[in-house]
A and B are shown apart, each in its own frame.
Chain A
């Protein structure tokens, strides 16, 4: 028998009205505009675009406002929104080598072509709260350096020339898997894993990446290169017969370089972990690259001994929309389930008491 219980409707309506009231907060404080969120909380917007797997700065800002700053709720809103839009197609693969670089650093080579470009970084700040920002101080614009600059070469091109680093596998003729269109089936290809990691939860991937550094699936990583900047997106238009640039997106790319002792087929060399994510999300791109490398254990003939090397464990649990859905569903009414369990526990206790009672009698005799 299944008994539906009703009566929550008015309470739910009033709760949502109260939510809207609390979201707006003190009416004497000006309401946030989406421009303010997109401009001044830009890295929060980037995280929502990245994990919402939808590049649209204004929509992400709206989601953050609607979610009262709860980023996982905002990510959920963006994921839900994307299901309402038709898919027009796939872009041509972006060329990160041609990126308009805003930051590019390497921890491997001091003097690589293009140099160490720090860009707008939190690194080297003292992490002291700046009380001046409590007001609205005038802020100087960034300085400009006008002498000619050489292009920023990819790190892989430097080490690759000596054969000391693995080459990228040649482009496959088949289409890469798309987890937005087809359910995941393990084992996943590296291309499909990278899609899942790119929209994975930053905190979860950060913790897993950290665990690889602490000794679980040791991989001796170096930050070969991190670059942040805008790349052109091109889309093939059948009516025109050629690919048209449709605009730019900001991406963060991380190339981790890892020691590899070699195998029967391959001499010792450096291998690479790769991360590519939306927006300025350096920590996330690094975590993705660490996890990508750890997940290649089987491919490289390494022993699978730790969680970050287990693709079913990593990929199945890195999506925070799925994770929050399953964890948070526990707060929904489980009245009937619980009644059934309550009855079960009562029966077990009765049996337990009967059993221990008879044991006590036997002992007395």
Chain B
């Protein structure tokens, strides 16, 4: 599992995909995965295992880093029969989700498979997450104060 064995093509896309997978709802993820009908052979390299990550903030929001507190996190690494390695890490303690996300990450190292998985699994999940964000933004916006001034006194 050395650095060299990981294909470094499209790291940004890989990172974006991993971000979507990490935030995905385990139920929707399982459903969309089942619809893909992929049955790749693979072996676990590490985990799935749960542990802690110490969350950091910045003093005053932009100063030096400080430790706020810990969060549970679960990670997994798998190796496909063709030798490709995939990784996953997400907040929470869902081991099955971490294992599946690592498997998807490994499969997406192949460009053609990645295109199919992105279209049929990643994009639908991302749309769902973005919609939820947009709804929350709009609900917050509805609580925005619109100040207005009132003219008072006898003078006209």
Instruction: Write the nearest CB–CB distance from B16 to chain A, whole angstroms.
Output: 9
Instruction: Write the nearest CB–CB distance from B102 to chain A, whole angstroms.
Output: 11
Interface stretch (choices B28-36, B46-54, B110-118, B120-128)? B46-54
- A257-B97 Cα distance, complex, nearest whole Å: 44
Contacts of A169 in B (CB 8 A): 59-60, 63-64
Task: Decide: A233 near B55, CB < 8 A? Known: A119-B140, A171-B64, A199-B69.
Answer: yes
Chain A minimum-CB-distance residue to B64: A172
Chain A minimum-CB-distance residue to B91: A247
Contacts of A116 in B (CB 8 A): 144-145
B150 is an interface residue with CB less than 8 A from chain A: no
A180 near B70 with CB under 8 A, answer: yes
- A247-B55 Cα distance, complex, nearest whole Å: 12
Please report which residues of chain B, range 54-104, place their CB below 8 angstroms from some CB of chain A when the two chains form the complex: 54-73, 75, 77, 85, 87, 89-93
Contacts of B77 in A (CB 8 A): 239
A287 is an interface residue with CB less than 8 A from chain B: no
Instruction: Write the nearest CB–CB distance from A273 to chain B, whole angstroms.
Output: 9
B1 is an interface residue with CB less than 8 A from chain A: yes
Residue-by-residue, is B1-24 near A (CB-CB < 8 Å gives 1, otherwise 0)?
Answer: 101001010010011001100110
A195 is an interface residue with CB less than 8 A from chain B: yes
Task: Decide: A239 near B1, CB < 8 A? Known: A156-B60, A191-B66.
Answer: yes
Interface stretch (choices A99-107, A125-133, A215-223)? A99-107
- What count of chain A residues pass the 8 Å CB interface test? 83
A248 is an interface residue with CB less than 8 A from chain B: yes
B151 is an interface residue with CB less than 8 A from chain A: no
- A154-B93 Cα distance, complex, nearest whole Å: 33
Interface centre among A97, A190, A245, A253 (most CB of B within 10 A): A245
A56 is an interface residue with CB less than 8 A from chain B: yes
Chain A minimum-CB-distance residue to B72: A56
A111 near B72 with CB under 8 A, answer: no
Of A54, A59, A118, A171, the contact of B63 (CB 8 Å cutoff): A171
Of B19, B22, B73, B142, the contact of A144 (CB 8 Å cutoff): B142
Of A144, A177, A248, the contact of B135 (CB 8 Å cutoff): A144
B156 is an interface residue with CB less than 8 A from chain A: no
A87 near B59 with CB under 8 A, answer: no
Chain A minimum-CB-distance residue to B20: A245
- A177-B109 Cα distance, complex, nearest whole Å: 39
Chain B minimum-CB-distance residue to A49: B69
Instruction: Write the nearest CB–CB distance from B110 to chain A, whole angstroms.
Output: 17
Task: Decide: A87 near B54, CB < 8 A? Known: A54-B71, A111-B147, A172-B64.
Answer: yes
Chain B minimum-CB-distance residue to A154: B61
Interface stretch (choices A7-15, A31-39, A88-96, A201-209)? A88-96
A118 near B64 with CB under 8 A, answer: no
Task: Decide: A178 near B54, CB < 8 A? Known: A194-B59, A233-B71, A276-B68.
Answer: yes
Query: Given contacts A120-B143, A143-B142, could you give 12 more A-B pairs where the C-beta distance is less than 8 Å?
Result: A55-B91, A59-B72, A117-B144, A145-B141, A170-B63, A176-B65, A235-B89, A238-B3, A240-B14, A243-B15, A274-B59, A278-B69
Contact surface of A with B, Cβ cutoff 8 Å: 49-50, 53-56, 58-59, 82, 85-94, 96-97, 100-103, 110-111, 115-120, 142-147, 149, 154, 156, 168-172, 176-180, 190-192, 194-195, 198-199, 232-233, 235, 237-249, 251, 253, 255, 272, 274, 276-278
Question: 11 A-B residue contacts at CB 8 Å?
Answer: A55-B91, A56-B71, A85-B72, A90-B54, A93-B57, A94-B55, A179-B67, A242-B11, A246-B73, A246-B91, A247-B90
Contact surface of B with A, Cβ cutoff 8 Å: 1, 3, 6, 8, 11, 14-15, 18-19, 22-23, 49-73, 75, 77, 85, 87, 89-93, 133, 135-145, 147
Q: Which 4 residue pairs spanning A and B have beta carbons closest together? A: A168-B63, A247-B91, A191-B66, A144-B138
